[in-house]
């Protein structure tokens, strides 16, 4: 049985898979970016929890990251479409099916990355804050 943290990350991955792009988790950037764009979910950092007593509970604001990458002639438009799709997928299910208290994304900071002998990539890391509570920091 997966921990609450893993269940949340799996639910976030499932939500991202509704976006019309190739979605991976924890993978390296492939040599070719698919035409619909690429999303790579990074597990991120749970950070220091707030702790309450009686009953003991650990309240996390886990910072996961989504790497969003597009390539091609209309990379600005494709990037906008991709990030809007991520926003819509998260807004449609803020609790990720009830496994998370709340999920919200921060604004991306896109950069253009030149590729030798190929079209330029447009990419950004999009932080996603996952709010959840567990009874144990290892659960």
Share of the chain above pLDDT 90, in %: 86
Give me the mean pLDDT over the 28-32 stretch.
Answer: 88
Return d(Cα 87, Cα 76) in angstroms, integer. Answer: 17
Cis peptide preceding 55, ω within 30 of 0:
yes
Reported as a pLDDT band with limits 50, 70 and 90, residue 32 is: confident
Spatial separation of the C-alpha atoms in residues 118 and 100, rounded to whole Å: 40
Average pLDDT, the chain: 95
Give the mean model confidence (pLDDT) for residues 123-139: 95
Domains and CATH numbers, the chain: 4-134 (3.30.70)
Among 46, 37, 72, 21, smallest CA distance to 131 is for 46
| Residue pair 71/122 in contact by the 8 Å Cβ criterion | yes
103, 90 in Cβ contact below 8 A? yes
> How confident is the model over 87-129, as pLDDT tens digits?
999 999 999 999 999 999 999 999 998 888 878 899 999 999 9
């Amino acid at each position: 049985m997966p921990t609450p943290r893993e269940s949340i990350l799996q639910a976030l991955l499932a939500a991202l898979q509704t976006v019309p792009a190739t979605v991976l988790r924890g993978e390296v950037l492939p040599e070719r970016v698919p035409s619909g764009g690429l999303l790579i979910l990074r597990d991120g950092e749970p950070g220091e929890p707030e702790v309450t007593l009686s009953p003991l509970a650990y309240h996390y604001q886990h910072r996961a990251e989504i790497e969003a990458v597009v390539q091609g002639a209309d990379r600005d438009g494709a990037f906008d479409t991709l990030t809007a799709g991520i926003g819509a997928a998260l807004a449609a299910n803020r609790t990720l099916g009830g496994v998370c208290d709340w999920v919200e994304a921060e604004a991306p900071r896109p950069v253009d990355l030149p590729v030798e002998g190929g079209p330029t990539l447009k990419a950004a890391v999009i932080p996603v804050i996952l709010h959840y509570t567990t009874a144990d920091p290892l659960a």
